[in-house]
Structures are given as C-alpha cells and as structure tokens.
Structure 1
Amino acid sequence: MANPTAKTIYYLPGYGGQLGTGLGRALMDRGFDVAGRETRGDFRSLPFDEQIATVGQDLKDHFWHDEARVICNSFGAYLFLHAQTQMPSFPGRVLLLSPIVGEFANAQARTSFSPPRPTRLKELAEAGLLPIPHVCEIHVGEDDWQSIPANVQALGQLTGISVTVVLGSGHDLGVNYVGSLLKKWLNLDLT
C-alpha cells in the first residue's frame, strides 16, 4: 500500500531488475514510494521503441514537475536517456548510476552487449541535440567495463552533466557508496 505522505521516486533498474529489490528496496526503507518499470517480464518483451515511449509517457503523466526525482541504474539509465531524446528537458532531478551509454565488450569475460541504437546518444550529444534534465548527475565506477567511464565522462563533457568516477568500484558501486549518495541526494532541498 502506498504511503500518501511519502514522496514517490521514479526508478528504472538495470536489465532484468525489479522495483522492490536492491536499490528499490533501499528507497522504500528510507520511506519513499517507488514507481517505475521493472526491466523484465512484459516490459522487457516490448520492442525498444515501445519501452522508451512507455517510460516517456510515465514521466509526462506522473512526474513532469520540478520536484520529481528519478533514479536509473545501468540499462534503466539507457532507457531514460533514450526517452529523454523524445521530449523536452526533464524538469526534475535525475540520478544515473552506472549508466549504459552504448555498446561494450569485455575480452576477459568473453562477453559483449550492443543495445538498440548504440551510437544514438553519442551522436545527439556531439551535435548538441540531446535534451538534458534540468538537474542531473552520473556516478560510475572506475573499473566498470559495462558503463566504460571514459565514454560516460565524454557524454558528461558534451552535455554538461556532472560525472563522478568512483575509485575502486566496478559496475556495482557498492552499498556503502550508494547509501551515502542516497542520503545526500534524497535530502536535498528542492525548492
């Protein structure tokens, strides 16, 4: 049951993620209601265009105000950034953790991932055409082979988004780091 006095945060977890576990659970434990899209099941089976249209519609219908808070992790950040390409700059506050910003590969792990439209964000940013939320910050681990810190920093430089590279961290920024970050980020005065 939703807490009518709590602020609601729109959350997009990583690929295959759930709203009520991990970071979503940490937000609930801090007294926030969590809305968003689980990146699994029916939503995951939608074509990419429908996924980003759904995220954009969620934001426009329920979170289009300057006090809105959005937190995205990994592939959830990729979805958010692509939804942002189809609307004006989001008026609220956005926190992107270990964002996927294009394709990546890791020879040691023998794995790679090429998301839909892997170069779109970079191309729009280079052309100065990527709409950016009014308040946005990114945190990425220095050893993150999925988010690739150099690519994330390049996106930040092109767009003016603040990027923090977390020393000694990989794709998982760690409970202690994220806990401290949430404490600071959630307590900011939004007026």
Structure 2
Amino acid sequence: MAQKTVYYLPGAGGQLATGLGRSLMDRGFDVTGRETRGAFRSLPFEDQVQSVVEDLKTHFWHEQAQVICNSFGAYLFLQAQAQMPAFVGRVLLLSPIVGEFTSEETRTTFSPPRPHRLRDLAEAGQFNAPARCEIHVGGEDWQSIPANVEAFGRLTGIPVTVVPQGGHNLGKEYVGTLLDRWLIAAP
C-alpha cells in the first residue's frame, strides 16, 4: 500500500468516510480499515481482533505504514497488538479505550470484552508496544479515563498527551492540528 494510505479504526459504530476518516481524505490520504458497524460489528470480538491482525500483517507490516485509531477502534488495535510482535509502522491513538469504565455523572458503565487483558499484559511487561506510537486523551474524558491511559502509557513506554479540558471527542481543531503535524512527520 502507498504511503498516502492510512489504516483507520474508528470508534464504535464508526465509518471510514465520515468524521476523522473524511478529514484524512480531505488531506489527500486514501483511507482503509474497518468500519466498526454492520457485519464487522456483528462478528464475535475475537474475530474482529483477528481481522485487524490479518489486515496489519498482510497489508501494513512495513515501516511507512500509518495507523490511526479512535476510541473503541484503538481498543481493537491494542487487543490485536497484544497478539503480534511490536507493530513496525507509526500509530496514533485518540481517546483509546484501555479497559472498563463507569461514569457516575451519566450513570453509564461499559466493560469491553477482555477488560483487564491490556492492563495485565502491561503490568507483566508482556505488551509489545509499537516503537512509534503516541496517545492523546482528553483530560475530562470519562470513557478513556486519563489516569488509566497514562498508567498504560507508563507501563508500555507509549507517550501520552492529556488534552486539558478535552472530552472523549478531542475536537476538530485539536485533532486537525495534530493530524497536520503527525502526517507530515511521516518517513
């Protein structure tokens, strides 16, 4: 695949051609990946993760590969990464889900499949983190919980940027500026 292609995993129910995917296309990139809805969302979780593993190993296992994941898409990527050697391309994780969360304010609880696996692997020093990866999370994100994301980053060596006053949606302006910097830094 060309360097101008980005492998994208959107949040739950996300599409490749809207939101962040559209923003990438508007910057001249081809966007491929998995929409986290429809037939893909209907697959058992392990099959979703295995699809991501196969996509990365078959089409994106090279140093020029660029992977961008948002929210639950980042959770899928991290679960896939847990089954592979450290990914050789560049990875940008936005508002990643790294385990279960609860919000008293919204009275919402979410426990993804294998909610403790990433933390357990990281704590045991057994998570093969990509060498060129960065995480951005909102300081007020009740889904990605910045303290949990920062702990995961410390354990895995992945740099984490906490965006002050940022929620789960980091905002078009912040993400646009980040994309412009990150995409230009491509090898």
Decide whether the 8 Å contact of 1:6 with 1:33 is kept in 2: no
CA distance in 2, matches of 1:6, 1:52: 24
Give the aligned partner of residue 27 of structure 2. 30
Amino acid at match of 1:158: L
Q: Indicate the SS of the match to 1:118.
A: coil
List structure 1 runs of 4+ shifted beyond 2 angstroms.
Answer: none
CA distance in 2, matches of 1:37, 1:167: 30
Give the aligned partner of residue 144 of structure 2. 147
The Cα shift of 1:189 comes to 4.1
Decide whether the 8 Å contact of 1:142 with 1:169 is kept in 2: yes
Q: Percent sequence identity over matched residues? A: 69
Q: Indicate the SS of the match to 1:72.
A: strand
What are the residue-to-residue correspondences of 1:152-171 with 2, within 5 Å? 152-171=149-168
Decide whether the 8 Å contact of 2:3 with 2:65 is kept in 1: no
The Cα shift of 1:110 comes to 1.2
Q: From 104, 112, 115, give the equivalent of 1:118.
A: 115
Q: From 155, 171, 175, give the equivalent of 2:172.
A: 175
Instruction: Tell me the alpha carbon deviations over residues 6-32 of structure 1, each in whole angstroms, 9 at most, x when there is no partner.
Output: 710000000000000000000000000
Q: Indicate the SS of the match to 2:149.
A: helix
Amino acid at match of 1:42: A
Aligned length: 187
Unmatched 5+ stretches in structure 1 = none
Could you say what the CA RMSD is over the residues aligned between the two structures, in angstroms?
Answer: 1.1
Q: Indicate the SS of the match to 1:10.
A: strand
Decide whether the 8 Å contact of 2:70 with 2:95 is kept in 1: yes
CA distance in 2, matches of 1:52, 1:27: 23
Given the alignment of the two structures, is residue 93 of structure 1 paired with residue 90 of structure 2, yes or no?
yes
What TM-score, normalized by structure 1, do the two folds share? 0.96
Amino acid at match of 1:32: F
Amino acid at match of 2:164: L
CA distance in 2, matches of 1:167, 1:27: 24
Q: From 44, 49, 59, give the equivalent of 1:47.
A: 44
Give the aligned partner of residue 66 of structure 1. 63
Instruction: Tell me the alpha carbon deviations over residues 27-50 of structure 1, each in whole angstroms, 9 at most, x when there is no partner.
Output: 000000000000000000000100
CA distance in 2, matches of 1:39, 1:157: 28
CA distance in 1, matches of 2:89, 2:29: 16
Decide whether the 8 Å contact of 2:93 with 2:134 is kept in 1: yes
The Cα shift of 1:107 comes to 1.3
The Cα shift of 1:108 comes to 1.4
CA distance in 1, matches of 2:15, 2:119: 28
Amino acid at match of 2:156: T
Given the alignment of the two structures, is residue 106 of structure 1 paired with residue 65 of structure 2, yes or no?
no
